Amino acid sequence: MDTIPLWAQFLALAFLIFLSAFFAMAETALMAANRFRLRHQAKRGSRRAIATLWLLERTERLLSLVLIANTLLNALAIALVTAIAITNFGVEEHVIIISTAAVVFVLIVVAEISPKIIGARYADQVVLPASIVLRPLLRMARPLIWFVDLFVNALLRLFRIKPSSSLANADLSPDELRSVLLESGSFIPQKHRSILLNLFDLESISVEDVMTPRTQIEALNLAVPVEEIIEQLTTCYHNKLPVYDGEINQIVGILHVRKALGLLREEDELTVHHFRALLSDPYFIPLETAALDQLQNFQENKERLAIIVDEYGEVQGLVTLDDIIEEMIGEFTTSTPSAARAESFSWDLHGECLLEGVTALRDINKRLGLNFPLDGPKTLNGLLLEWLQDIPDAPISVKIGNCIIEVMQVQNQSIKVVKLRRIEGPALQI
């Protein structure tokens, strides 16, 4: 050491600290890097991204390299400082202790904490250039890593810990992927993120949650006079109508309204048989069918409308392809006056909202930010009847969660109109 200038010794010390800081920063940046962005860049031909993904596929070997390098560099830095102190001040115990403490402090601040903070905060900017250096180092250090791993694996087996080579390749669960979408921030537009989240929700709902209830089905009755059938056809809001004979459970087919209107122009004296000739076969599905499965069934069967029946074969409602698609991308049609009204409800200035009893609880939760349970009744009327265990014959109010529900009108054994009043405060689970 006497023949080496002091400035060269300190320059070597600074170089050791710099290398230690580089490894610490590179390790943190690799662990914090956005793997989805790296895969996207790799598909576009980025060599740095490809090198980074290559390193991440060998996480255990990479960690071994970084830890070995950091340990050796830190030990060399402490030894060098000790040698400098002895050379310049002699074997003085207090000088050696002070110099060692000083270099340990510098290593903690400059070579550990600071570079790791930088690596975590600027992971995407650091990881790509760092991978160009680490990849050849990892290849050159393979024999050393193999030798060290022999002892590491022996120690792990001693404690009955099985080494794993797939640390960085764990698949994301649906809930984890949902969390990734929720935390994507400005990287994914709000509308796109909403569609993807709705697609996850589609797995947990059935056609019952999105169907048009039986009482709201617009259908054609062949048992009424032809004049009434014609009048209904000229004023209907849909292109396809279920057709029944006398009673809604006796559905005999589906009528394309455009074909029927063409029939009105061609025939002078229409009969029920003319309309029967235009019917296509009805498509029936069970009440418990999952919405996502039904979307696929529509595609496979080349259908757009299905009649929903329960276990007794009685009609409960109908669902269309549009109903399921709207669950994913939001409502885009207002084909009936009732649909137009359903789109418009919201809290007024007094924190109140007037609703029909047939309004779906899912729509209320979405539009008003409430938390009504969805595992039971599907409508506001059904929720109140279940809650009250009776059909009220006078105005009554109940408190459910963070909302006061006031029954305003009851008609034909069902609640027709209610008023919701919001209660300020944290949301309550029902």
Burial 145-168 (b: 16+ CB within 10 A, else e): beeeeeeeeeeeeeeeeeeeeeeb
Confidence of residue 172 (pLDDT cuts 50, 70, 90): low
CATH of 205-329, one of 3.30.70.141, 3.90.79.10, 3.10.580.10, 3.10.20.740: 3.10.580.10
Burial degree of 207 (CB within 10 A; 0-12, 13-18, 19+): buried
pLDDT at residue 428 greater than cutoff 50: no
Is the fold of 205-329 the same as that of 345-422? no
pLDDT at residue 168 greater than cutoff 70: no
Q: What is the pLDDT of residue 360?
A: 85
Q: What is the pTM of this model?
A: 0.58
Q: What is the pLDDT of residue 171?
A: 61
Confidence of residue 95 (pLDDT cuts 50, 70, 90): confident
Nearest to 301 by CA among 274, 329, 281, 271: 281
Q: What is the CA radius of gyration of the chain?
A: 36
| 226-255: average pLDDT | 89
CB 422 within 8 A of CB 352: yes
3-state secondary structure of 241: strand
Tens-digit pLDDT profile for residues 97-120: 898 899 999 999 998 899 989 888
CATH 2.60.120.10, applies to 345-422: no
The residue ranges of every structural domain in the chain are 6-158, 171-204, 205-329, 345-422
Which run of H or of E encompasses 401?
none
Tens-digit pLDDT profile for residues 338-374: 444 445 688 888 888 999 888 888 888 888 888 888 8
Confidence of residue 233 (pLDDT cuts 50, 70, 90): confident
| Residues in Cβ contact with 398 at an 8 Å cutoff, skipping those fewer than 6 apart | 384, 387, 388, 404, 405
